[in-house]
Amino acid sequence: MKPYRIKAVIMRHLYEVRRNANHITYMVYWPIVNIMVWGFFTLYLRHGDRLQPSILSCLLGAVILWGLFNAFQRDMAVGFLEELWSRNLVSLFASPLSVSEYVTGLITVTFVKAMVGLTVEALIAWLFYHYDIFPMLPKFIPFILNLALFALTMGIVVTGLIFRYTTKFQAMAWSFAGILMPLSCVFYPFSSLPGFLRPAAWILPTTHSFEGMREAINSGGFSVLHFRWGLELNIIYFIVAVVFFRVMFESARLRGLLVKME
Amino acid sequence: MLVTVEHLAKTYGNFTAVDDVSFVVQAGEIAGLVGPNGAGKTTIIHMMLGLISANAGTIRLFGKDLEDDREQILQRLNFTSPYMAFPARLTVLENLKIFAGIYNVRNAAAKIIELLERFGIGRLKNKPISRLSSGETTRVGLCKAFLNDPELLLLDEPTAYLDPQAGIRVREVLLDLQRSRGTTILYTSHNMHEVQRMCNRIIFLGHGKIIATGTPIEVTREILNEHRDAPALDEVFIRIAGRQPDEAVSN
């Protein structure tokens, strides 16, 4: 991998952010709307002591972290879709740029954008709803990294599907995270799931990130168990996703789809 | 040989796009890859760029196998086609800076300005691609193609969207750059006058197969099967385009 090529991909997507207002919408507008809606909801629940403060903290923490996961997965796939919509794929892949260099550049930009969204949400939660995520960040960071890695894995899978099946799968860019949400235990603990769904929820790294976050808020401790499960599952899924992507990419080359994508 | 293509084949289901094609291109040559629509020209170029994988055959560029040394090979060549596009919201300059970065071009800013001026679009550098005409976008593609001083240039119908005046200018620039840098060019076009003027040698394709190769006059004599004193590639083209697939290699 050559750093100058990765830098060129980063430049390409930063120029796009500057020129395309949709990116500002994705990066800032939706996180603001999201945290405001949930923020007012927690104010309502807090009024008259309807719920314990730790549950309200879990709720707002979950909103912020789910927003990060969703943004990361979506921006990865949309970043790639932008090449497809602008018919730029042929120029890019007829150059010495490799797929891994392209994906590394895209991940870097996506990570920065997701962090901007996270910061905006955290600041609003702190200023307007008296929810300060920052002291908890050191304990959250390992779980945030697990979420980011799983979102990246999902982004790779969706991108592979788009390579192979073109825009037929582009809706997945926005909706794939949503499919995982019911089983990821974002707003409720794992123990509240019915028994038959628990095995499926347990093998999602997202479940372990949110369980870990809840444990950090409730007991102030760091759950090594949930961090390790999340990380090990992530490593397995990442390897599978890379293999899946290669298969999809080679299948697209064999079928001549790279030059016909629209 | 700069380009060695051997027994190349590409099929899509029952359709054969390229059928056992072999040819070579020598360093410094301008070779024309010509033929009617569906002859397999663009598919061959896309296979030479690694965008499409072949069902059979090998492609060696600069003496290296494309499948094994993709990165080194693509660093030394470039490609353009009026059918490809650039991110529309980005300016001409931004788009070219991105590709200059990918090819690690030294003094990129000066190089980009020089190429834009040479192709007569210097005034457009700060315009978004979406505001350009097809012909102007084609010339941005040509600037991109020369950014890395390629040893081999693959040009797929480079003048298809240009008006006659712009076409003449682009051909002059291409010939000038080819002479001064010794660039090898593989050129596809439907404009037979242009091919006659530009190319030293022609590879004539029909229905995915090579029908004739040689200088324009040699190809004219071979396909028309009569003595001619001057090339007549338009006639050759019409003759080939009218043939059925099973007649394609009757010569």
Mean pLDDT of chain A: 88
Domain boundaries, chain A: 3-254
The Cα angle at residue B24 between residues B19 and B27, in degrees rounded to 5: 150
- Alpha carbon distances (Å) from B96 to A98, A260, B71, B80, B242: 18, 23, 20, 13, 41
Looking at chain B, which residue has its C-alpha nearest residue A258? B51
CB contact under 8 A, B87 and A15: yes
Q: How many CB pairs under 8 A join A and B?
A: 96
d(CA B38, CA B98): 33
Is residue A259 within 8 angstroms of chain B, CB to CB? Answer: yes
Tell me if A44 sits within 8 A of A56, measured CB to CB. Answer: no
Residue ranges for chain A with pLDDT beneath 50: none
Tell me if A110 sits within 8 A of A27, measured CB to CB. Answer: no
Looking at chain B, which residue has its C-alpha nearest residue A252? B52
Closest residue to A259, CB basis, from B51, B85, B101:
B51
Closest residue to B46, CB basis, from A15, A83, A259:
A259
- 3 state DSSP class of A188: coil
Reported ipTM: 0.88
A contact residues 238-257, partner B, Cβ 8 Å cutoff: 250, 253-256
Closest residue to A8, CB basis, from B86, B89, B101:
B101
- Please report the pLDDT score of residue A41 as a whole number: 85
Looking at chain B, which residue has its C-alpha nearest residue A4? B101
Beta strand segments in chain B, E: 3-12, 15-25, 30-34, 56-61, 64-65, 77-80, 152-156, 184-188, 201-206, 209-214
> At which residue do the structure tokens 């018919």 appear?
A87
Is residue A8 within 8 angstroms of chain B, CB to CB? Answer: yes
Q: pLDDT per position in chain B (251 positions), as tens?
A: 899 999 999 999 889 999 999 999 999 999 999 998 889 999 999 999 999 999 999 999 999 999 899 999 999 999 999 888 899 999 999 999 999 999 999 999 999 999 999 999 999 999 999 999 999 999 999 999 999 999 999 999 988 888 888 888 889 988 988 888 889 999 998 888 889 989 989 999 998 999 999 999 999 998 888 888 888 888 888 888 777 665 655 44
Domain boundaries, chain B: 1-76+150-159+183-251
Task: For helices B108-118 and B134-146, give the axis angle rounded to 10 degrees.
Answer: 130
Closest residue to A253, CB basis, from B52, B81, B144:
B52
- 3 state DSSP class of A204: coil
Tell me if A62 sits within 8 A of A41, measured CB to CB. Answer: no
Task: Output the six-digit token pair for A96.
Answer: 């010495």
CATH node for B1-76+150-159+183-251: 3.40.50.300
- Please report the pLDDT score of residue B131 as a whole number: 95
Residues of chain A with Cβ-Cβ distance to B70 below 8 Å are: 96, 98
Long-range pairs for A234-243 at CB < 8 Å and ≥24 separation?
A234/A146, A234/A149, A234/A150, A234/A153, A234/A205, A237/A150, A237/A153, A237/A205, A238/A149, A238/A152, A238/A153, A238/A156, A241/A153, A241/A154, A241/A156, A241/A157, A241/A160, A242/A156
CB contact under 8 A, B101 and A4: yes
Q: Which of A4, A90, A255 to mutate to test the interface with B (most CBs of B within 10 A)?
A: A90
Residues of chain A with Cβ-Cβ distance to B75 below 8 Å are: 96
**Chain B residues bordering chain A (beta-carbon distance below 8 Å):** 10, 12, 42-43, 46, 49-53, 70-72, 74-75, 78-79, 81, 84-90, 94, 97-104, 128, 141, 144
Rounded to a whole number, what is the distance in Å from the CA of A18 to chain B's nearest CA? 9
